Structure 1
Amino acid sequence: MTFPSDRKLRVLAIAEAANPEWVSVPLVGWSLASALREHADVHIVTQIRNRDAFLRAGLKEGTDFTAIDSEAFAKPAWKLAEKLRMGEGKGWTMVQAINALSYPWFERLVWRAFGDSIKAGDWDIVHRITPLSPTIASPIAAKVAKTNVPFVIGPLNGGVPWPKGFEAERRGEKEWLSYVRSAYKLLPNRTATLKHASVILAGSRHTASEVPEQFQNKTLFLPENGIDPSRFNLTASPSTDTPLRGVFVGRLVPYKGASMLLNAARDLLISGKMVLDIVGDGPQRAELEALAAPMGDAVTFHGWKAHQEVQDIMAKADCLTFPSIREFGGGVVLEAMALGLPPIVVDYAGPGELVSDAWGYKIPCGSKTEIERDLASLLTDLVADPAPLATKGKAAKARVDSTFTWDQKARQILRAYDWALDPTGPTPSLITG
């Protein structure tokens, strides 16, 4: 398939979750779709709940975006998910299962609104950006494929297995459904979606590994998170002075690893060789405050902070200390790197795929005791010789600037579009290094 070289690609971007005023998946959907608009003629199709935020961001309804009213299914599904998840921010697998039941109605309405224009060849690419979950099929994939318009899906991400030894954390997150999550692979619509997609963007190596062998030849690795340089515009300057300043940013729940961090850094914090800023809140806060009590002023709990305040705190640190044991993407890792802050992470899932020895540190994913032991050893080494932090921090910022800004991610996806339009060419590598 070819198109005139003197015009931009016409892309119908389906992003059911896309909102510049929210976080997590909606912010990813918005950021990626918006970045693509700088390089292609993109029309965004989103859910009606995002309409007002799109208008406040300056987009014109009907010209730049279309808001689909699927509330007849979406609203009851949301209420059911909130009831079944048994706690704010918990039961993520259950939420996705409910979304998988309600989402097809949204795409049915998308096809009703845009099916004729897709058949007429008004679009060069149809790209479903969100949902990110690989468990949620796309009912219109086969319909788009019949029109000979390439259908791109992703980046898909999620479902990273819980590591061994963390069953208490799994139960604490109300992840009962995660024990049978793999059953989604048997759903017929899942296979049809992958079959009819021209390109499958996988947001993690794990998600890529779950794609059946017959579709691996059209699966490309592309982490879903990115950085807006205008939002992360400070630069950290890791110091060689004592004390070492670490920062943790995230929800205060067991799997994020704040308790492991406090245990690992205990002696350094009590002796005054290290200080720690903990940014975030959650059900584990009281427990963490009790754990940190013997450490006195060495540990500061900041609670939730506005974006700019978080950036200010992070930029004063020497390293991000983030031993989470289950992250799909690890956006906070990229945020730290964007500030020139070398991250310390557990080598598992998203963070392990974003960090290399050139710009950070990876702790092997073992038991709690092993993670705390290895983290304590690393922090002790950094207190004794913090000089590598500045070098790694500069490399971290350079890595984000070259690969993980939203503009760079849009350019990477354009290469995927080119390949979808001409699959006879070599398979592109969207992320290198």
Structure 2
Amino acid sequence: MTAPPVAGPRIAFYAPLKPVDHPVPSGDRQMARLILRALKATGPVEVASSLRVYDGAGDPATQARLTAAAAAECDRLLSLYAADPARRPALWLSYHVYYKAPDLIGPVIARRLGIPYAVIEATRARKRLTGPWSAFAAAAESAIEAADLVLCVSARDRQAVEAYGPPGQRVAMLPPFLDLPPAVERPEPGSPPRLLTVAMMRPGDKLASYRLLADALTLAAARPWTLDIVGDGPAAAEVAALFAPFGPRVTLHGACAPAALAAHYAGADLLVWPGLNEAFGMVYLEAQAHGVPVLAVDNAGTGTVIRDGLCGRLTGPAPQEFAATLAALLSDLPALRALGRSARAHVEAHHALTAAAQRLRGLLTGLMP
């Protein structure tokens, strides 16, 4: 995906984990698209490459193949910039660099062109330097160390980046953000209250979160509620089996287009998603932006976008704790609605795209000549 030449300091943007034109929706793709929109709102930017560099299985052969593809992409870009100097970027910016999806392109191009290199959401996992991802982990560590600026979306990532970063590396926070939907007056909570879950269905932490949610709802089965689940993926059959015992109280809708998803948010009284090991979870911001309070397990990622007691509730990882907190929320529906109003106000104040665009461009402009 490329754009015609434009005047002014150009930023080259790259998302190795999930390119902006990837066909499968996810929080990573959404965040990459939002960063691109934020950059375009204040100056010229070009998506430099759509090469996906991701190894989810820890396969050395896959890592070798992707490393070779990235080297070829570096050659292509360097030839492009040499032939068309108007396309030459003044800065390279990559989004989400970690041991399963290192940036094998940005540091090379930045070094060869003598331009600054910046990263949004860098996760350092030094324990992965041994094991099946060792080659990619080393590449991710090298890329993060090469960055002139690292913008962190969570305090957890910032701590690791600062702890192991080279002297003089600039590190700053860039809270996750989204384009706010119009504010609307929401109806009173339904009878029974309408719960909503929006999440991909895949093995690992996602499936573990679905299991926790099913266990918690079993414990809260005596309470009145219904649940709509929006999502799809390779673990869809396992998820369906987990919620089959609830019968018509739970409806699985599969993947939904944006308009249909917005309608689900509009009809929900509470988003319930444990979010085990979430980096932050775009779904929480989306729900709050629609005036829907959220219930999640407390960790460094969810705490980045959820203010406990203001936007919803954060709870412990045991199903009993999740169920007890859910029961407390459902026992006071006026308070639940008030949480939704304050959630919307919090997102407006701290996670809006317009403010993030200005902050992002300001941080990056300071690196460019």
CA-CA distance at 1:415 after TM superposition: 2.4
**CA distance in structure 2 between the partners assigned to 1:406 and 1:418 by the alignment:** 18
Contact persistence 2:98–2:137 (CA under 8 A): no
Flag structure 1 segments of 5+ consecutive residues without an equivalent: 1-7, 48-69, 82-90, 162-176, 366-370, 423-433
Change (3 A) 1:122 1:275: closer
TM-score, L = length of structure 1? 0.68
* Counterpart residue number, 1:12: 11
Which letter maps to 2:41? E
**Structure 1 residues 87-166: aligned runs within 5 Å:** 91=56, 97=63, 99-100=66-67, 102-114=69-81, 123=89, 125-130=90-95, 132-133=97-98, 136-138=102-104, 141=107, 144=110, 149-157=115-123
Q: Does 1:23 align with 2:22?
A: no
**1:343 aligns with one of 290, 294, 297:** 294
Deviations 1:133-155 (A, max 9, x none): 36524555366357664322223
CA-CA distance at 1:394 after TM superposition: 1.9
**CA distance in structure 2 between the partners assigned to 1:334 and 1:417 by the alignment:** 24
Aligned-residue CA RMSD (Å): 3.8
* Counterpart residue number, 1:327: 278
* Counterpart residue number, 1:378: 325
* Counterpart residue number, 1:262: 214
**2:158 aligns with one of 204, 208, 214:** 208
Change (3 A) 1:412 1:267: same
Which letter maps to 2:196? V
Q: Does 1:297 align with 2:248?
A: yes
TM-score, L = length of structure 2? 0.78
**CA distance in structure 2 between the partners assigned to 1:141 and 1:291 by the alignment:** 44
Which letter maps to 2:20? A
**CA distance in structure 2 between the partners assigned to 1:151 and 1:288 by the alignment:** 41
Percent sequence identity over matched residues? 21
**1:237 aligns with one of 174, 179, 186:** 186
* Counterpart residue number, 1:35: 38
* Counterpart residue number, 2:340: 393
Contact persistence 1:19–1:27 (CA under 8 A): no
The SS at the match of 1:320 is: strand
Q: Does 1:404 align with 2:344?
A: no
Deviations 1:270-306 (A, max 9, x none): x351221112234554454444444332222222222
Flag structure 2 segments of 5+ consecutive residues without an equivalent: 1-6
Change (3 A) 1:420 1:208: same
Larger deviation, residues 395-404 vs 299-308: 395-404
Number of residue pairs aligned between Structure 1 and Structure 2: 351
**CA distance in structure 2 between the partners assigned to 1:222 and 1:267 by the alignment:** 38
**CA distance in structure 2 between the partners assigned to 1:286 and 1:236 by the alignment:** 37
Contact persistence 2:223–2:327 (CA under 8 A): no
**CA distance in structure 2 between the partners assigned to 1:93 and 1:338 by the alignment:** 37
Contact persistence 1:15–1:44 (CA under 8 A): yes
**CA distance in structure 1 between the partners assigned to 2:171 and 2:71 by the alignment:** 23
Contact persistence 1:160–1:328 (CA under 8 A): no
**CA distance in structure 2 between the partners assigned to 1:146 and 1:101 by the alignment:** 18
